[in-house]
Amino acid sequence: GTIVDDNVDNETATHGANLNMKIIYIVIGSLGLIGNVIVLIVMLSSKKLRSKTTNKFIINQSFIDTSTSLILITSTLFDDINTVPKGLPAHIFCVLWMSKFFLWSMLVTSTYNLVAMTIEKYFAILYSFKHMEFFTKGRMKIVLGMIWLIGPFWNLYLAITTTVTYEQCSVYSEWNPPESQTIFGICVVVFQWFVPIVIMVICYGRIAWFVHTN
């Protein structure tokens, strides 16, 4: 009786914790959605605002974060589906949705848009002539488009390592060779965290020093 009661208590506690996390994610997603929609309305309503180079990155960031917020909300609401029927549609659903491919892709895209925006500010303040030469309308379209491709390209491994086994969605389980999981883990830390942080710290550090000395 005690063992059964303990198991029931543990399941209840786990369910309660999962429910609390769902509520937190939905609240975060909703706040992000509202905040970024407001930014987009303000920016896009003014031709003067949306024509500035820095503001184009801000608008792009808001589109990215709006998409991220929507995906966070929907993936949180529908994350309990483990059993999937046979067939290609179910396999695609497992590989792309249950692996949270879209969510992680948008988060990486958001990070690198911030990096690009930081570099743009760096050149605008420290090297204004080079800034005008490089950040033309045509190049801006290319840069902003490439930013949207970085996340999905980088997170292809999430889809590749996810499969359907006996009608169960098996997430991040197919690593071949197994050592590749460690390599990818190191790359994630380096390129999703370390490199962006270093670039932003160096750029903003130099900007702060330039402003201070001038």
Which ranges in the chain belong to alpha helices (H)?
A: 2-44, 47-51, 53-77, 88-92, 101-126, 128-134, 137-154, 156-160, 179-188, 195-213
Residue 85: partners with Cβ closer than 8 Å, 6 or more residues away: 167
**pLDDT score of 24:** 95
- Return d(Cα 171, Cα 75) in angstroms, integer: 15
Write down the CATH superfamily of domain 2-213. Rhodopsin 7-helix transmembrane proteins (1.20.1070.10)
Decide: 117 and 58 in contact? Cβ < 8 Å. Answer: yes
pLDDT band, very low/low/confident/very high, at 105 (cuts 50, 70, 90): very high
**pLDDT score of 176:** 86
The pLDDT mean for the chain works out to 88
Tell me phi and psi for residue 10, to 5 degrees: -65, -40
**pLDDT score of 82:** 62
- Return d(Cα 137, Cα 210) in angstroms, integer: 27
> Between 4 and 120, where is the model more confident?
120
Is the overall model pTM greater than 0.95, yes or no?
Answer: no
